[in-house]
Every structure is written in structure tokens, then in C-alpha cells.
Structure 1
Amino acid sequence: MHVIVATDGSRASLVAARQFKWIADSREITDLTVVAVVSPYAAVPFANELGAEQPTELAGLSFTQEARTAVDIVAAEFDGWGPTVHKEIRSGSPAQEIIRAAEDVDADLISLASGSRGLTRTILLGSTASRVQHSAPCPVLVCRPTSNSERGAG
């Protein structure tokens, strides 16, 4: 079984990865790919909340480096867990690229956080999660981190 774990650099995406790990059976998973997508037309950079240092100026940001740092942090959650962990940075529309990543590796499952960005994060399923859920070539596990889930997922 090959699983795609998507991150957008948010704390919610890290908690969602931990939730997935908590409920999944590592013996059934052979490969796990952690994916981040950098939008080439974004008005704001890849917002990595997971890195140790936060750049103070937009000029100091490297979208790809921030995404790579987020992927490394999420992938580290799965070190020694069992499956082979792959890391991938893509460029384009987040939903489309997560779906393409799943198609490229013939994924059996996509796991991602809902509502980790935007004004409606507590009300609606995130737009990326919603688009992935409706167009994915495989089942999608959408994790909605809460204060209780953060405690349970470590």
C-alpha cells in the first residue's frame, strides 16, 4: 500500500500526519510519500509554520526551501515507523498536484488536513481538501485537527 501524506507547512498538517500515523497499520503500508506543493503564482509564500526559524522579510523567503523544510519535518514523524518514506516538492495547484502525485505512484490512500489555511478553517472543509476528496483516484483521509486530536496524536 502506498500512501500520500500532504503538507502545506501548517501546524494542522503536522497534526494530521500524526493522526494518520496513530490510526494506520504500518505493516500494511509499504511506501509513504510526503508531498508539499508550491504555487508558482501565489501572492504569498509557502507558509511554513513548522520550521525553527521564521524569516522576517518576504525577500528572505525561498518558497521551495520552506516547502522542503516542512516536508522534512513531516517525514521525520515517520522515521523508523516501517514504510519507505519518500519526499516530494511539486509546483502548481495544490489540489491538482496532490492528485497527480497519487496518480503517479498509484497511491492507495491520500491523507491531508482540512481547513489548515484561510478564514473558514473552523467552519468548512478546506478548499484543497475538498477538491482532492472529489477528484482523487483513491480514498482520501481528511483529518481535522482539534485540541483533543493534538493531545492524542502526541
Structure 2
Amino acid sequence: MSSRLVVATDGSLESLEAARALPGLLDAAAVEEVLVVAVLSPTAAVPFRDEIGAAGRPGPSPDPTAPSYRQEAESAAAVVAASFAAWPGRVRTQVRSGSAAAEIVEAAEEVRADLIVVASGSKGLTRTVLLGSTALRVQHSAPCSVLVWRRPRG
């Protein structure tokens, strides 16, 4: 049986670690498609924070509506997508704008996902936007199973 995954990234190291943990949790041969989604929030007090992509650079840009934030989101999504390069299924990225949880759920509905993967404990947009509240909202609204990945303590 083939499946479709939506993997959410907020540009945090935790979201990259979640993606990198999936080969140990899932059978890559059974995954038909992986969609890596990054969400820009036009109303967030802090813009998209790219800790993992090539576009990330020290210090925030002064203008939260600057095109560089979209580039940072695209860069972070590309880094996460590269985690699936060896997987046989289709891998693509998408940058969306709006409420993180709503956009992640909508992406899952559009591709008829079987699983959504989100990281808990990340510091992407703000400590609450993609930390607990987004993971909780995704879990409550998702049309499929949700895997909330948490960094192992140690």
C-alpha cells in the first residue's frame, strides 16, 4: 500500500531532525509522495526563521514582508526535502501563506495525505506558533494521522 506524507517545516533544526528520523520509522518503499510544507504567517510578530537553509543568515531582515522571507522558507523546505532524496517516491516542496496549522491541514487534504509530520519544540515563527499550538491544532483538524516528533532528551 502506498502512502502520502506531508512534512511541515518552520525552518527549525527540530523540523529537519523530524524529517531525518522518518527513515527509521517508515518504509520508504511504501511512500508514494512526500510534500514538504513551509508556512509564512503574514501576521506573525517574528518572520520565518531559517536555521537550516542556505538562505539563512545572521540577524533578521528589517522588513518582515521582504521577499527574502519567502526565499528562506523555500530554502528550508528544500533542505528538509533533501532528506528524502533516496526515497523512491515523488518529493516536492510548497511554501504557503496563512495560519500554520490551517495551511498544513489544507495541504494534507489537497494531497490526500495518510500522515502529517510536525516537530514539537521548535522555535520557528515564535515559541508558540509552531511549538505546541500548531501541533495541537493540526492534530485536532487533520484528515489523517499526525506524527508529532519530539527531540530525544539527553
TM norm structure 2: 0.86
More helix per residue: 1 or 2? 1
Deviation at 1:40, TM superposition (A): 1.0
Deviation of 1:22 after TM superposition, in Å, equals 2.0
Q: Secondary structure at the match of 1:59?
A: coil
The answer for the alignment partner of 1:69 in structure 2 is: 75
For residue 30 of structure 1, report the CA deviation from its aligned partner. 0.4
Aligned to 2:46, what secondary structure does the other structure show?
coil
Q: Does the aligned pair in 2 maintain the 1:115–1:129 contact within 8 Å?
A: no
Runs (4+) of structure 1 exceeding 2 A deviation are: 117-120
Identity %: 52
One-letter identity of the residue aligned with 2:6: I
Separation of aligned partners in 1, 2:93 and 2:127: 29
| Structure 2 counterparts to residues 2-21 of structure 1, below 5 A | 2-21=4-23
Given the alignment of the two structures, is residue 82 of structure 1 paired with residue 88 of structure 2, yes or no?
yes
Q: Structure 2: which 5+ runs fail to align?
A: none
Partner of 2:36: 34
24, 27, 39: which one aligns with 2:26 = 24
Paired amino acid for 1:43: A
- Asked whether the 8 Å contact 2:53–2:78 carries over to 1, the reply is no
Q: In 2, distance between residues paired with 1:56 and 1:114?
A: 24
Aligned to 2:57: 54
2:148 matched to which residue of 1? 142
Partner Cα separation in structure 2 for residue 115 and residue 134 of structure 1: 18
Cα offset for 1:146? 2.3
Conserved 8 A contact 1:67-1:89: yes
User: Gaps spanning 5+ residues in structure 1: where?
Assistant: 149-154
